[in-house]
A and B are shown apart, each in its own frame.
Chain A
Amino acid sequence: MKFLGLFNYWVFAILLVIGLYALITKHNLVKKIMALAIFQSAVFLFFITMSKIEGGTAPIVQAGVSGQVFSNPLPQVLILTAIVVGISTTALGLAIVVRLYEEYGTIEDDEILALDRKA
């Protein structure tokens, strides 16, 4: 089945669009951060899927065993880095939300905008 073969890529696309949609439409800042996390996870899935080969194993050379098929380890390493970047972004984003709540008493971006306009 062609569709099933591309299953992960479909999930990647759907997650990406869900994240982007929520980023644009949600006014709650914490929901925006959640949307950002979904958006980034989609990309993680994309990289991991692309490195997987059918029947491929971890790329460790064993004595006396030959003819194995290895999955590409590089995208996994890249994604490890990208996950760290993603976590830092989420943490910083949440820290900013906390500061915003301290200053404005709300985490809805339209209310914050209204408070700014009033001042």
Chain B
Amino acid sequence: MLADHLPALQVALPLLTAPLVILLRTGFLAWLVALLASLCSLGLAMLLTATVLETGTQHYAVGGWLPPMGIGLTVDGLSALVLLLITGASSLALAGGRLSLRKDIDNRRAPMFYGAWLISMAGLCGIAVAGDAFNVFVFMEISALATYVLIAGGRDRRALSAVFKYLIIGTIGATFYLIGVGFLYMMTGTLNFADIALRLDEVTETRPIVIAAGFITIGLALKAAIFPLHVWLPRAYTYAPNAATVFIAACSTKVVIYVLLRFNFEVFHGNLPGHTDLFGVFIIPLALAGIVLASAIAIFQTNLKTMLAFSSVAQIGYIALAAGLTSEAGLMAALLHMFNHALAKGTLFLCVVAFVLTSGSASMDSLRGIGKRMPWTMAAFLVAGLSLVGVPGTAGFISKWYLVVAVIGWDGWGAALVAAIVISSLMAVVYLWRFVELAYYSEPPGGEVVPMEVSRPLRCLIWFAALANIYFGLFPQLPLALARSGTETLLGGLF
């Protein structure tokens, strides 16, 4: 039955379509096939999600070899949530990015660009379904290498130095992770997540295990851009082709956070005495600094994309903060915010795609009066912005609500954390307002207001994304169910 092979297909489909796409001659055909593959992956992810919600965690033994000897793929609520994010963001970015990518990418090289796109998606999906630590490393590197190509694929030469920095830092992060996995393997003799968690009991509190936990956490924090390890992110987001930014900003850091949570909770939590407290002590100050400082830096940006990139660093801080509370409510909030932030940021960057299509640049100066020229797109931007701030009725409110409830329930200094969250949300209002004011209340560069909306399909897509922000704010059952099942797995173990 095909349905039994869904976890493997999730990776195999984009991975096998990628070489086909590279063989196609024209950019349009390559784009079309890539979009179709991406939509099919989204369909697979939906099927998997439905199966997981119905029958619980799915296990798949690659080639019929049972884990822990063979390679196992595991899909639970948490993986399903991440899979939906990846394939959804990819489909949205590809569907909305056709015109923008045609401008940014040389037609001759476009098939290779779309090939890299699919490989990147396959790698990210692989991370989400992989059941063992080493496959996560391999998929992480597959997706990272392809992502570097996506970022450097445009015409902006500044993307090259940005991507070089990302490559160096990303590789250091992945290698740290590999060292940590090595130490774990040395002590437990296995790579399977569930098996490591089982056997960790016998060797707990030995020095290699503690070192492994350190290496893995730092390495993944580097790749997840947790403040102050975020230095690669703003420039990479800013200079990447606009449509690629939609995809990368929505999911690449989230997937690494997923691995971070999986390791720290499923494997270490409960098996390593004191680890949970240590994790909180390590991550909460960093998250707080990120939430406040990155939001403050975002206020002073002159480029819309850089501003949104710094806002991403702050939002990653929220996720890390929620996870650092190490409580059930905290994890719920972290997983929900992963989903909701990806939705809001994806929509915002999709609006940026439209803005740049008509005005040619993402600098604030050239976007003056854009609200009068592109009322539809700007209104969608506003909706997603409200979701980012966390206004009731939008998806962002749900996760902020869960976050604040989790923080209040925390027996540390909850009040101080609530204050930081409120201050940061206010700063988000400030930096978004700065752009809104510019867009609605200042004169366009030419002086005259010329309506210049983007094509109708793109406008519909942007509004589809914006309405999704409202839909998941009013009916959050799906992300809630997935986050709840994910939290149970993280805190309860796989078995």
A residues contacting B by CB (< 8 A) are: 16, 20, 23, 29, 32, 36, 39-40, 43, 46-47, 50, 74-75, 78, 81-82, 85, 88-89, 92-93, 96-97, 99-100, 103-104, 109, 112-113, 116
Contact = CB atoms under 8 A, between A and B. Distances in A.
A42 B183 CA distance: 14
Interface residues of B, number: 24
B416 interface: no
Nearest to A88: B145
Contact of B149 (A29, A47, A92, A97): A92
Nearest to A16: B179
Contacts, number: 70
A29 B164 contact: yes
A56 to B, nearest CB: 15
B185 A85 contact: no
A45 B345 CA distance: 42
Contacts of A113: 161
Contacts of A29: 164
B164 A43 contact: no
A99 B159 CA distance: 11
Given A36-B171, A82-B178, A99-B152, 7 more contacts: A16-B179, A39-B172, A89-B171, A99-B160, A103-B160, A104-B157, A109-B164
Contact of A81 (B138, B145, B157, B164): B138
Given A78-B134, A100-B161, A36 B168 contact: yes
> When A and B form their complex, which 7 residue pairs have the shortest distance between CB atoms, in order from nearest?
A103-B157, A85-B141, A100-B160, A50-B186, A112-B161, A96-B164, A89-B171
Given A43-B179, A50-B182, A88-B145, A97 B171 contact: no
A85 B138 contact: yes
Given A40-B171, A109-B161, A116-B158, A46 B182 contact: yes
A116 B157 CA distance: 9
B168 A47 contact: no
A116 B161 contact: yes
A43 B167 contact: no
A97 B141 contact: no
Interface in B132-150: 134, 137-138, 141, 145, 148-149
Contacts of B100: none
A54 B182 CA distance: 19
Nearest to B156: A103
A82 B138 CA distance: 8
A43 B172 contact: no
Contacts of B152: 96, 99
Interface of B: 134, 137-138, 141, 145, 148-149, 152, 157-158, 160-161, 163-164, 167-168, 171-172, 175, 178-179, 182, 185-186
A81 to B, nearest CB: 6
A43 B182 contact: yes
Contacts of B182: 43, 46-47, 50, 75
B134 A20 contact: no
B9 to A, nearest CB: 22
- Most chain B beta carbons < 10 A, residue from A32, A39, A82, A97: A82
A63 B160 CA distance: 57
B8 to A, nearest CB: 19
A92 B167 contact: yes
Given A93-B164, A113-B161, A23 B172 contact: yes
B123 to A, nearest CB: 11
A36 to B, nearest CB: 6
Contacts of A85: 137-138, 141
A109 B164 CA distance: 10
A81 B135 CA distance: 10
Given A85-B141, A89-B167, A99-B152, A43 B161 contact: no
Contacts of B149: 92
B126 to A, nearest CB: 13
14 contacts: A36-B168, A40-B171, A46-B179, A46-B182, A50-B185, A82-B137, A85-B138, A88-B145, A89-B141, A89-B145, A103-B157, A103-B160, A109-B161, A116-B161
